[in-house]
Structure 1
């Protein structure tokens, strides 16, 4: 087949329909995905690079199994954190395989996550791993996509998102993130190269500095209740309490900075011709996603 014939064949071949849920960390992407999955036959494909790996489930804010309501989630806790870090090119290949599997089963793929560089790599018709699409110095993202995409951008107002992120950090620590991070620190005391792929997760470098000064006991891990013991020690040690509060403050600050960076990338993709349906949320709670079916039924999306 000539190159022109191959191009024509690709043009005539129907493209798979894919819904892509985008947004900053903490905006409500997972809850929207579950809303859609309750109304359409869907399966979720994770596009958050930290959630690809097993481990630190609370720290990386993976949707709990009970909240998935039986909806299959692909590329979530699927890879060994001791392996090589996944590249955008590898995600493009694995994401395409996941989408193909979902489509062949008669379901709608929902790509959900905040790693926009991975989303870009997965969706564009031609991906150049050397192109610096998000730096502002390289080439722009291509508007030509290899799927028939419906983009849903959950756009929460910055003040509301910042307030929610602050509360979410506190909640995650209460739910067990502190013990997860203490266990991860302990793992690397005996195996410095352990779980390398998770070292960039927000919370890891911040608490590493705290644990270097106030080390947890050997063998500590999730469910051991070390946070309660540590809290008791902080009550009697103002220096330790101050160090803990500073770590939490930095985690919240870094979450806000990450959200800003994610939004910048999304706006850059929209500026390159990606048609994004933006849902501005002025409150983080109480939204019932009433416009989901209307957006999903629009031209070129799953409603056709």
Structure 2
């Protein structure tokens, strides 16, 4: 039997839940950008929920947001783990709860953003953590039509190569490394093994060029497979777990470039997201 107060309201119902935001989506959809944009409009701090971005090093491969792009917004669980350490879903939950406590003490809203949906599912659904009883959550899902997203993935891999992906992997990873541990699991590392080995044995330039091109193509293919897996897990959240996700279609943003893309982002992603978050924070959702 529920214990009631003098007004007949259950004591349990008087507990005010803390507000938290989640930004979900496949790779290359703009999750990080949206989290930072939102945090410039509301008092918020960002918690990374990408299980590879928690590790130190390989910033290009893991696509960590650069300090200069964070607009002064505090980021948590980003680049703090030893590259070879294990970091389980339960470890993630423990660190998220600690980060959320600090953020709430600062009177800010936690924004949890990243593509590791199994970790997010564990955080929200684990009955031992009682997350749903303590937090009122709003879920934003940035979605992009698959053909457009696959093209964006390929372009982003090319941009990462231009930014120094090959040099970064060469500097940190030895051929034949254990690609089942830590940051070495990141897409962009195992795929480079044949090329790194060819460099080590001083293969001819034609062979190295062939192996490098093959590695880059595998990175693109494996990232597209990751996208498929991420979307499958998001659909599980909706259809099996009953999560209410606010879908934001960002396809038109990726179909354009330059100033047109900036305008499209503001109109079709940021403005609707701000409206949803405003309603959520004001209790109108």
Q: For this structure pair, what is the TM-score category when the shorter chain's length is used for normalisation?
A: 0.7 to 0.9
Query: What residue is the counterpart of 1:303 in the other structure?
Result: 282
Inter-partner Cα distance in structure 1 for 2:96 and 2:103: 11
Of 279, 287, 296, which residue of structure 1 is paired with 2:248?
279
After TM superposition, the score normalised by the length of structure 1 is: 0.80
1:269 to 218, 222, 237: 237
**1:126-155 CA distances to partner (integer Å, 9 max, x unpaired)?**
159xxxxxxxxxxxxx99564211100000
Is contact 1:41–1:107 with CA below 8 Å preserved after alignment? yes
1:117 aligns with 2:105: no
Q: How does 1:4-19 map to 2 (within 5 A)?
A: 11-19=13-21
- Aligned equivalents of 2:80 and 2:58: distance in 1? 13
1:154-193 map, 5 Å: 154-186=142-174
Alpha-carbon separation, structure 1, partners of 2:210 and 2:158: 16
RMSD of aligned residue pairs (Cα, Å)? 2.6
Equivalent residue number for residue 69 of structure 2: 67
Distance across 2 between alignment mates of 1:10 and 1:262: 36
Gaps of 5+ in 2: 4-9
Q: How far apart are the structure 2 equivalents of 1:61 and 1:194? A: 18
8 A contact 1:143–1:274 mirrored in 2: no
Contact 1:52-1:76 within 8 A present in 2 as well: yes
Contact 1:116 1:266 in 2 (8 A): yes
Tell me which residue corresponds to 2:108. Answer: 107
Matches within 5 A, 1:85-164: 85-124=86-125, 126=127, 144=132, 146-164=134-152
SS at match of 1:297: helix
Q: Distance in 1 between matches of 2:232 and 2:14?
A: 34
**Residue 226 of structure 2 is aligned to residue 258 of structure 1:** yes
Gaps of 5+ in 1: 129-141, 218-232
In structure 2, the residue corresponding to 1:154 is in which secondary structure?
A: strand
Partner residue of 2:29? 27
Distance in 2 between residues matched to 1:145 and 1:32, nearest whole Å: 27
What is the TM-score of this pair, normalised by structure 2? 0.85
Q: Distance between the aligned counterparts of 1:237 and 1:94, measured in 2?
A: 46
* Post-superposition offset of 1:238: 2.9
Q: Does 1:42 align with 2:30?
A: no
Aligned length: 264
2-structure distance, mates of 1:82, 1:112: 23
Instruction: Quote the Cα distance in structure 2 between the aligned partners of 1:246 and 1:96.
Output: 41
Asked if 1 retains the 8 angstrom alpha-carbon contact of 2:194 and 2:211, the reply is no
Does 2:57 match 1:55? yes
**SS, match of residue 214 in structure 1:** helix
Q: What is aligned with 1:204?
A: 189
Structure 1 residues 97 and 150, CA, compared in 2 at 3 Å: closer, same or farther?
same
Q: Are the aligned partners of 2:83 and 2:184 in contact in 1 as well (CA < 8 Å)?
A: no
Question: Is residue 194 of structure 2 the alignment partner of residue 213 of structure 1?
Answer: no
SS class of match (2:112): strand
Of 194, 214, 217, the match for 1:246: 214
The whole-number CA distance in structure 1 between the counterparts of 2:180 and 2:125 is 30
